Structure 1
């Protein structure tokens, strides 16, 4: 029971209740604590770092797609390690366009920072795609983490990566993710704001203008105007924190990121929630092996939740809130349940809350529709939707599709206005569909228990190529193309195999040289000297008031 996060005292009390009292258990509570401690020591009998290395090696022998790396200092002490399993690599291939990365918690006796990589799957659930522990939060440490992660995922960089306001992390991202958009967590910024800018506590207008700049502005021009109004009204020209924040405005304001996919995420809360869950199965006295096992159990639970939702999508039924709507019926067959509910809400908001106030033809096939919210008829703010009448390609000035990946309510209102019955394929991202992971290599949980991983891979590839050849057998042109592509793939595979053999030989020599010599990491302290989530300005203020009372 303690292995799944139940406290020793709770487990003992449960056993006592089951057998009718502590006198019938057969051992006392101190015996239970001693047994648990012996089990914990057995996990690290050869040293915490060496035991962790052995656990990772054993996992790699079970999963041929599992990758890990250990970083040591000049005294051969462990100062960082990172791992990614086969399931995580598949998930990253499918959903690695937006990553949340955070190092808020240090849940081990060495105070190494826990740094999980979190993405959002097609059910809008948290998915763990890699984890790391590092001793120091320096540019070099973060560069090692990001470079190792990129090496394990084949060099694929995310479209957007969310982090907190750490300068070392920002510098490392600029070096290792040059094509990715780095975004800062708005939650951390909003919690600092009341203590950094006293005017926010006294003037609601100034505070509302600041939050409007964060996520409500539709353009850079609107942001600049709103920011100027806030500074002028609050007399904040000399506020140093705001000046520094303005310099990095492209990293936290949505107005400067309209062309970049972010799934509507504004903070690192998804990663912090993962750390918070881990807080229940790991504590400040936990070993590194226990931390790794705790995270592995957490990811297994998330995978199980994903499989459960896959089952509901496959065997369950969803009734649209609006009956006899061709567009909703069409998208219902494509999207997952959660993605469909988000799309349906946007459609209903557009049908009821948005009105088309003007339309003008700018060319023979292109029409511009001016839309605005029905409840604000006196408001001059409008969103302009340009539609191609030949193929129904649409573009909205709010750029909701470019950022969230699902059509905005303004375009859906225009589609409803023009009686469009089917969403163009280009506006249905595969990452939100029921077939988001179709054709991917089987995950560990989905593999037959009596088959080894190589046999499962061969079976998968044979089934994949068989389906492909059956699909193209009637088209001579495609058959020639596929045959030529297979020849090129075979040549590339030979090159990769040769490189892999050389790399494995080098890794084996290194492991043989350092086998059993990896030492436990030194005990570190975090920058904030705390293992807990940073408290907001309002939490600190309320605590001081309660003490005064």
Structure 2
């Protein structure tokens, strides 16, 4: 039976289990049942964001059960299909490069629309069904359409796949239903133990600040060990940024910030 785990992220950036289901099939009705049952277990508190692959049956069920949730497709799975879908074109290497540039470097919706239109026109791709379908569903996978939602750093289903690998040490295709329940409980205990260990380390370890910034010190006091490490990386990267072209507009100001690349001579 297909094993469907619900995977989330905790305050230590660890993958956590929020439940699971064993499915008889993978159609819309089954997913509706799965999501509704899981929602009851979550005290009817729906998720704000969901990351899945491009399963149409799952998408239909999400729209029905979680109509207000932001639904994101795994970007890695989409971009992995570029060779399969576009390799037959004579200018494949250029097409691949330009498409990645349009997807990853468009900073806003208008820029994406303009760049995508130029991309399709330049390489005569208007009849490509795959690209046409992707454009119609752009709000589910293009980063600039999703950046205003909170995703705990996720843009792929990698955590779910990692969780499947984690369970390989507990269950296999020969595991009976009774054994599964017992082993699933063992897996939950292991995850809880890892979180407790991270809680202890975070409460008893102080990472020194790397600057005199009051903002960094506030993060140091409030954030866990793992998340403060991420903040410090951003603070170090900030030192490479140069702000210029300051434009005052009433009570607000706009800064153009450029990152200076590091060059090895």
TM-score normalised according to structure 2 size: 0.91
1:142 pairs with 22, 31, 45, which one?
31
Is 2:237 the partner of 1:349?
yes
Give 1:193 deviation, angstroms.
Answer: 2.1
Partner of 2:194 in structure 1? 305
Q: Which residue of 1 aligns with 2:255?
A: 369
Partner of 2:139: 250
Distance 1:200 1:276 in 2: 36
Map of 1:207 onto structure 2: 96
Per-residue deviation, 1:127 = 0.6
**1:315, CA displacement in angstroms?**
1.0
**1:340 maps to what in 2?**
228
Unmatched 5+ stretches in structure 1: 1-111, 377-549
Matched, 1:221 2:110: yes
CA deviations on 1:457-484 (whole Å, 9 max, x unpaired) are: xxxxxxxxxxxxxxxxxxxxxxxxxxxx
Q: Distance in 2 between matches of 1:244 and 1:188?
A: 15
- Residues 199 and 374 from structure 1, CA distance in 2 versus in 1: closer, same or farther, beyond 3 angstroms? farther
Hey, what's the Cα distance between the residues in 1 that align with 2:44 and 2:105?
A: 34
* Deviation digits for residues 227-286 of structure 1 (CA, Å, limit 9, x no counterpart): 223323433222111111111111011111222111231111101111122123222222
CA distance in 2, matches of 1:115, 1:165: 15
Q: Contact 1:164–1:184 (CA<8 Å) still a contact in 2? A: yes
Q: Secondary structure at the match of 2:169?
A: coil
C-alpha contact 1:120 1:127 (8 A) present in aligned 2:
yes
Task: Name the structure 2 match of 1:278.
Answer: 167
Tell me, in whole angstroms, the C-alpha distance in 1 between the residues paired with 2:128 and 2:153: 30
Secondary structure of the residue that 1:333 maps to in structure 2? helix
Distance 2:219 2:28 in 1: 45
Are positions 1:360 and 2:216 aligned together?
no
Cα displacement (A) at 1:202: 5.5
Give the aligned length. 262
Counterpart of 2:69 in structure 1 is 180
**C-alpha deviation, 1:173, in angstroms:** 0.3
**Change beyond 3 A, Cα 1:245–1:277:** same
How far, CA to CA, are the matches of 2:87 and 2:19 in structure 1? 40
Larger Rg: 1
Measured in 2, the distance between the counterparts of 1:199 and 1:234 equals 13
Distance 1:301 1:371 in 2: 44
Cα distance change on mapping 1:292 and 1:226 into 2, 3 Å? farther
Give the drift of 1:199. Answer: 5.4
Q: Residues 150-169 of structure 1 correspond to what in structure 2 (within 5 A)?
A: 150-169=39-58
For 1:325 and 1:374, locate their aligned partners in 2 and report how far apart those are by CA, in whole Å. 21
Unaligned runs of 5+ in 2: none
Q: CA RMSD in A?
A: 2.0
Provide the residue aligned with 1:327 in structure 2.
Answer: 215
Measured at CA, do residues 278 and 357 of structure 1 come closer, stay the same or move farther in structure 2, by a change above 3 Å?
same
Taking the aligned partners of 2:17 and 2:90, their CA distance within structure 1 comes to 38
User: Equivalent residues in 2 for 1:36-51 (5 A)?
Assistant: none
SS at match of 2:236: helix
Is the partner of 1:371 in helix, strand or coil? strand
